[in-house]
A and B are shown apart, each in its own frame.
Chain A
Amino acid sequence: MFTKPIHIKLFFLAVLIAALLLPLFISDAYMFQVVIMSILFAIATCAMNLIIGFTGQASLAHGAFFGIGAYGVAILTKAGVSFWLALPAAAVMAVLIGLPVGLISLRTRGHYFAIVTLCFGVIMWIVAGNWIELTGGENGIFGIAPPGDILVPLIGRIDFSSQAAQYYLALAFLLLTLWALYRIVYSVFGLTFMAVRNNEALADAVGINTFTTKLISFEAANFIAALAGGLYAIVIGAVSPSAAGYGLTFNFLIYLILGGIATLSGSVIGAFAIPILMESLQFLQDYQLLIFGALLVVVIIYFPMGFVGGLRRLNQIIADRRRRKKSEAVHVSG
């Protein structure tokens, strides 16, 4: 489980190289935009996967923490702070705000936890729309400048108002997130997360401090969600309450579940596949959401474990059949 066979490693390397070279093949600003946004959403969905998929706590305040990151970067860069400082600062802010939220809401379980966090999410969304002095109210904060040009040896000057630079910036954070999650999930520490998810009482009995474990997972997810939000602020250039709304939470949840919960690749696939699907359903106009809603229900019924889960099952079935054939063959010859 901890080491992967060589051909899988080669495959990931190929995907990585393809991702790095992608800007050479995309000449279309529209496609580029969709890809960049998908990367940001993938980062946030990966973070959601940590708390929901691996730790089993359905936090529905995720969009709000994304929003704290977005507003944090917007407010700080408007005040003249460099983006490179503002981004981590905003993420730390999300962790600080997440602390009382976590301390209160993690006392509850199951549906109760989901609804309490949803309430926190809705409250933060309302505050974003009404605390005019800080957040600009419903108008939000606009005219957020991209990070200043930076000079990189060998590459030269990078201008972050270009889509290519934004793409690489987002991609770097996605890779960082995936790497961090990979390290967490496949560590002994990650196993405690899953122990809490699978059976909290048992985890408690074997000496795991379940409350602290849940809190750490919750806060790690908030931290990453805020990073994604901070990147959103400079890519879109304007932040309004919809960047902190529960609609975002639901979107992330859909990406997570349909992509494949509790798998690292599932979150990324979901965050790419669904927005692209939505974009390609645009031609349906008034019927776009009608079809999408129905599709969502059908997919969840027939692929309850999402895309990656479905493929795993398919693999399983094929492998079983092969094994059966093999054993039958053995029977015949024997």
Chain B
Amino acid sequence: MKHLILPMRMAVIGIFAWAALSTNALAKDVVIGFTGPLSGPGAGYGRDVLNGIKMAADDINKGGGITVKGKKYTVKVEGLDDRIDPTIAVNNARRLSSRSKARVIFNPVFNTIAPLMQINQQKTSQFLLMAYSSTPKIEQIPNDLTVSIPPPFTAYVNAFCDMAWKKGWRKGAMMVTLGAYGDEWREAFKHHWEEIGGEILADKPANYYTETDFSAQLSAVIATHPEFLLIGGPSEPTGLVIEQAHNLGFNGGFVLVDQAKMDYIADVVFKGDLSKMGNVIGVAPIVGLPSPVIPEWNKRYEKEYGVHDTFEALLNYSATMIVVHAMEKAGTIDNPQAIKAAFAKVLPQDPTKVPTPFIGTLGPKLLITTTAGEIIDGKYTKVNQYVWWTKDEAAYMELLKSIPASDNVVTSWLPLKGYLQ
């Protein structure tokens, strides 16, 4: 059994060599961490999020970096792949916080956000978790160092129901992606749609991540003769569903869950041919957003990263801006509590500076309007912008002053239960 000595010895040497190699924290850098899917299913989504963060850091650095207590810092983004595996995500977060001294870490998937919320308040390795997930489940876990970035998806549910109802649609059928997000979405949509008096004729979820042929489920839902289909998951397969539904003879409309983006589908899947989409309700196309910096931002983004712009990139860009500006206001780069507390001082964001300005905070949530758009007969219509958190008309009117507006945008008040203030 002599042969056992060598492996043990080598393992010990290996561990130390590895420990020595991987320590690298440079002075004068402030590190923003990211862990998320960069390969495997969800990789496109993860990259969009990371691109947004990187672009914000680039813009800050181009402007000379940030100044905290008189000292200049360059913002450095460190992104690690976790393939939505909780073990890797926790390792990554530990690595980012212990080795790179990141005190702010972004993560875009609930399955990995939940385990990170278990460790981000430990005294020895605290970090501010910037969670990009629209599930209300995040708010169920008490955690003082978590910020949830996107609007709750239920705000979209209400907005889309409102628009579909006004179009005269009454009977719908659902074929949404499987998985936590899809399950919550279709449950919430069905509940709300039936509450306002509509009807759901069929509900056949499909896996938008692993499956690619949706004809089995599609023929089943189309057979119930709905006026519209609620569909969606990642944008590309959602485009396929639209095409396959048309091929199967369906000529009603579509409502897209907020993960699927109509402009992305039109540009990437249908090569810009809007007429192939039919009538669609969903998250507003980016070009329709009210901020004046959108066109320039869009162009720069697509040039820099070679992919279509998405809301994921936009919102994480804005959120990163909040973080670094809050560091300046708080006068610290390594106290996550102080950084979070300073958020209030940098909000609302200026719509002439950031493309999707956040307006305020509410508990762990950052506040931003939900924007919904429509395609009718091959053309984008005006964008609807909804304020969902004010408790009454008066507060809404007061808020209107700080909300970006344009001729192309209709703003209205759509209160969302559970979030009113």
Binding site for B on A (CB under 8 A): 4-5, 8, 11, 15, 18, 28-34, 37, 129-130, 132, 137-140, 142-143, 161, 232, 236-238, 240, 242-243, 247, 265, 269, 272-273, 276, 279-280, 282, 285-286, 288-289, 307-308, 311-312, 314-315
User: Separation in Å of the B303 CB from the closest CB of chain A?
Assistant: 20
Please, which residues of chain B bring their CB within 8 A of the CB of A272?
11, 15
Give which listed residue, B1, B8, B94, B111, contacts A33 with CB less than 8 A.
B94
Please, which residues of chain B bring their CB within 8 A of the CB of A232?
87
Interface window among B176-184, B191-199, B288-296, B335-343: B176-184
Asked if B27 lies at the interface with its beta carbon under 8 angstroms from chain A, I say no
Are B180 and A137 in touch, CB under 8 angstroms? yes
Are B91 and A138 in touch, CB under 8 angstroms? no
Are B86 and A240 in touch, CB under 8 angstroms? yes
Please, which residues of chain A bring their CB within 8 A of the CB of B34?
none
Task: Using CB atoms, name the residue of chain A closest to B85.
Answer: A242
CA distance A300 to B117 in the complex (A): 39
Please, which residues of chain B bring their CB within 8 A of the CB of A276?
14-15, 18
Give me 17 other A-B pairs in contact (C-beta within 8 A), A279-B22, A285-B81 excluded: A8-B1, A29-B98, A30-B95, A32-B94, A138-B178, A139-B180, A142-B137, A161-B122, A236-B87, A237-B119, A247-B85, A273-B11, A276-B18, A280-B21, A286-B38, A311-B6, A312-B3
Give which listed residue, A33, A289, A312, contacts B91 with CB less than 8 A.
A33
Asked if B218 lies at the interface with its beta carbon under 8 angstroms from chain A, I say no
Mask: chain B, 371-399; 1 = CB below 8 Å from A; 0 = not: 00000000000000000000000000000
Asked if B251 lies at the interface with its beta carbon under 8 angstroms from chain A, I say no
CA distance A32 to B95 in the complex (A): 10
Please, which residues of chain B bring their CB within 8 A of the CB of A11?
4-5, 8
Asked if B125 lies at the interface with its beta carbon under 8 angstroms from chain A, I say yes
CA distance A240 to B113 in the complex (A): 12
Task: Using CB atoms, name the residue of chain B closest to A315.
Answer: B3
Are A138 and B180 in touch, CB under 8 angstroms? yes
Please, which residues of chain A bring their CB within 8 A of the CB of B5?
11
Asked if B247 lies at the interface with its beta carbon under 8 angstroms from chain A, I say no
Are A138 and B111 in touch, CB under 8 angstroms? yes
Asked if B145 lies at the interface with its beta carbon under 8 angstroms from chain A, I say no
Are A138 and B81 in touch, CB under 8 angstroms? no
Binding site for A on B (CB under 8 A): 1-8, 11-12, 14-15, 18-19, 21-22, 38-39, 80-81, 84-87, 90-92, 94-95, 97-99, 110-111, 114-115, 117-119, 122, 124-125, 135, 137, 140-141, 178-181, 183
Are A236 and B124 in touch, CB under 8 angstroms? no
Are A138 and B7 in touch, CB under 8 angstroms? no
Contact A236-B1, Cβ < 8 Å, known A276-B18, A308-B7: no
Contact A236-B11, Cβ < 8 Å, known A137-B183, A285-B81, A288-B81: no
Task: Using CB atoms, name the residue of chain B closest to A15.
Answer: B8
CA distance A11 to B3 in the complex (A): 11
Give which listed residue, A143, A238, A280, A282, contacts B80 with CB less than 8 A.
A282
Are A265 and B91 in touch, CB under 8 angstroms? no
Are B183 and A30 in touch, CB under 8 angstroms? no
Give which listed residue, B1, B11, B85, B122, contacts A5 with CB less than 8 A.
B1
| The 9 nearest A-B residue pairs measured at CB | A237-B118, A142-B114, A138-B180, A139-B180, A30-B94, A238-B114, A30-B98, A238-B115, A138-B179
Contact A242-B7, Cβ < 8 Å, known A137-B183, A138-B180, A138-B183: no
Are A279 and B14 in touch, CB under 8 angstroms? no
Task: Using CB atoms, name the residue of chain B closest to A282.
Answer: B80
Please, which residues of chain B bring their CB within 8 A of the CB of A243?
86
Task: Using CB atoms, name the residue of chain A closest to B19.
Answer: A31
Are A236 and B80 in touch, CB under 8 angstroms? no
User: Separation in Å of the B403 CB from the closest CB of chain A?
Assistant: 32
CA distance A208 to B99 in the complex (A): 55
Please, which residues of chain B bring their CB within 8 A of the CB of A286?
38-39
CA distance A312 to B3 in the complex (A): 6
Give which listed residue, A129, A140, A273, contacts B114 with CB less than 8 A.
A140
Are A265 and B15 in touch, CB under 8 angstroms? no
CA distance A322 to B284 in the complex (A): 78
Please, which residues of chain A bring their CB within 8 A of the CB of B118?
143, 236-238
A-B residue pairs in contact (CB < 8 Å), sample of 11: A18-B12, A37-B91, A138-B179, A143-B140, A236-B115, A242-B84, A273-B14, A279-B95, A282-B92, A285-B38, A286-B38
Contact A139-B4, Cβ < 8 Å, known A30-B91, A269-B11: no
User: Separation in Å of the A9 CB from the closest CB of chain B?
Assistant: 10
CA distance A236 to B99 in the complex (A): 20
Please, which residues of chain A bring their CB within 8 A of the CB of B119?
237
Are B11 and A311 in touch, CB under 8 angstroms? no
Task: Using CB atoms, name the residue of chain A closest to B184.
Answer: A139
Task: Using CB atoms, name the residue of chain B closest to A313.
Answer: B3
Contact A29-B97, Cβ < 8 Å, known A15-B8, A276-B14, A315-B3: yes
Are A236 and B86 in touch, CB under 8 angstroms? yes
User: Separation in Å of the B133 CB from the closest CB of chain A?
Assistant: 10
Are B99 and A30 in touch, CB under 8 angstroms? yes
Task: Using CB atoms, name the residue of chain A closest to B118.
Answer: A237
Task: Using CB atoms, name the residue of chain A closest to B24.
Answer: A283
User: Separation in Å of the A283 CB from the closest CB of chain B?
Assistant: 8
CA distance A1 to B3 in the complex (A): 14
Please, which residues of chain A bring their CB within 8 A of the CB of B80?
282
Task: Using CB atoms, name the residue of chain B closest to A240.
Answer: B111
Please, which residues of chain A bring their CB within 8 A of the CB of B137?
139, 142
